[in-house]
Amino acid sequence: MARVSKEIFRFEKGHNSKGNLMVEIVVYVNSSGLFTATLPSEVLPVLHRAKIKTLNNRAGNDGFYQASTKKGLLLKISDDFKKALSGKVINESIILKYGVKGMASWWEDLEGGIHPNGQGASGGGWKGGNINLHAANKAPYGVMVAVKAYRMTEHEFLDGEKTKEYSVLQQDSDEAISDENLRFITRLSCISFGSDWQHGKVEQKDLEYTKERAKFFAELIKGIYGLVEMISILNNSEGIDLMIESKTKLLK
């Protein structure tokens, strides 16, 4: 058999880059004028899981293809992989992806009294948020909240694999237009999960959207707006004294 060329296929599984597949083959032409190629063994499971059968070559190896033209050969191989990697939508829903970061640690005694470092306490134990502060992890106290709305599309492929794809829900989508609280969340363009969220220090969680849950997060963010506005006056001593004199409490 005479070698004709080396060919490289690149296939994409859905819209997820993790599903990309590269297949490299060598095309030959035999004495009968047929163009042939045998797939690498490592890519055969993709076809097997999708129950797509191929021929065996003279050595008995699976993954053998032949056709009267090179174009026809490449088309056969391409069609089989596209079929194996094709999927159907089995579920589509709106997801609220959120995370909460509470940064504080304190000691609470058996009567509920608070002791910042535990000194002077009789019994009790440490309490804190999901980011505990200690001598080796010092930071200001605080709370951070992030929430974003996504459209989650779940695909099922012929090989049995299921994948989930997320796209940011747009404020002009039908769902956002019909729910003012969901639309409020889609307009939080300046909110971000940031590096702490992305590197796993704070877990991001998925919550299926309901109108009640969208209202909860919208009111939570609005409450933070109000708190931040009040706290802003603490940037100078006059503001602090004013709050003391008015007996205003930031938190209860």
Q: Give pLDDT tens digits for 47-89.
A: 888 888 999 999 999 999 999 999 999 999 999 998 888 778 8
Instruction: Burial-class residue 68 by CB neighbours within 10 Å (0-12, 13-18, 19+).
Output: exposed
- 127, two tokens: 């309490």
- 117, two tokens: 């470092």
Which residues lie across from 144 on neighbouring strands?
101
Say which residue, 20 or 113, is predicted with more confidence: 113
> Could you tell me if 107 and 118 are in contact, meaning their C-beta atoms sit under 8 angstroms apart?
yes
**What mean pLDDT value characterizes the chain?**
87
Is pLDDT of 240 > 60? Answer: yes
Name the 3-class secondary structure at 35: strand
Say which residue, 121 or 218, is predicted with more confidence: 218
Query: What was the pLDDT predicted at 3?
Result: 93
For the whole model, what pTM was predicted? 0.64
35-38 and 21-29 strand pairing: antiparallel
- 78, two tokens: 């391409």
Alpha-carbon distance of 59 to 44, in angstroms, equals 16
Per-residue CA distances from 171 to 149, 181, 188 (Å): 10, 11, 10
* DSSP state letters, 81-147: HHHHT-EEEEEEEEEEEEEEEEE-EEEE-TTS-EETTSTT--S-EEEE-SB--BTTB----EEEEEE
Alpha-carbon distance of 92 to 164, in angstroms, equals 9
Query: What was the pLDDT predicted at 17?
Result: 39
